[in-house]
Amino acid sequence: MKKVSVALSVWMVVAFIVMGLTIPADVNAKASAKFTDSLTKCVDGDTAHFKKAGYSRFLYVDTPESTKKIEPYGKTASQYTCTKLKKAKKIQLQYDGARKDKYGRTLVWVWVDGQLLQELLVKKGYVKKFYDYGTYSYESKLVHLQATVKKKKKGLWSGKKEPSIAKTSSSKKKKPATTKKTNFKNCTELRKYYPHGVSKSHPAYQSKMDRDHDGWACER
């Protein structure tokens, strides 16, 4: 029995090294205590930037791609996640095992106003699969929930075409005002002329308006 236990431990260590993960002290560790954080930028359905945690990947869930490669329900999942995070009165995060993936992203459980965001995504049918880098605290719950969602044919499992994302008609969309002004007091004033913000190369760019220091000021 001891030999089997040792062999299993060695195998798990090798697996973590191959996947480029930081090996936790205990791969079966429970999630850490929740800590409050704030959103700085939403990326897509399972990725976001937070003030304390930085560039973060949501633990265990994998939503369809919505940036470089557009997959079915990718935009829908992204819009859902971003809306939840932006409207949340309180965001809390939890670590669970390895804290970084091979891309350097922080791995976290995300709570919005007391609800586990990963669970909400599964319930809506926006999670295409799970990725497993260890044994997680809410893993079993999400797996069982996914099975129920598939039976109910929700979201990705409905067999229906992804609903259109609400957009303002280009013909009715109000055109932004034009100006040669480059010095703005704040982002509210700047967005009247540049709705999507400005890059670092733009004359109106000011570092104080670039909160996440990504070279883009006042982006939404």
Average pLDDT, the chain: 83
Domain boundary among 102, 125, 157: 157
Same domain, 132 and 186: no
d(CA 174, CA 134): 49
The separation between CA 125 and the C-alpha centre of its own chain, rounded to angstroms, equals 16
Same domain, 74 and 152: yes
- Cα angle, residue 152 at apex, residues 46 and 157 outer, rounded to 5°: 50
pTM for the whole thing? Answer: 0.64
Same domain, 177 and 207: yes
Q: In which residue ranges of the chain is pLDDT below 50? A: 1-29, 168-171
Q: Residue 181 belongs to what domain range?
A: 169-220
In the chain, the number of structural domains is: 2
Residue 195 CB neighbours (<10 A): 14
Predicted local confidence at residue 6, as pLDDT: 39
Local structure of 115: helix, strand or coil: strand
Active-site positions read 57, 65, 105
Q: Which of 128, 130, 110, 145 is nearest to 66 (CA)?
A: 128
Q: Which of 150, 40, 36, 21 is nearest to 90 (CA)?
A: 36
Placement of tokens 């000011």 in the chain: 206
What CATH number did the domain enclosing 137 receive? 2.40.50.90
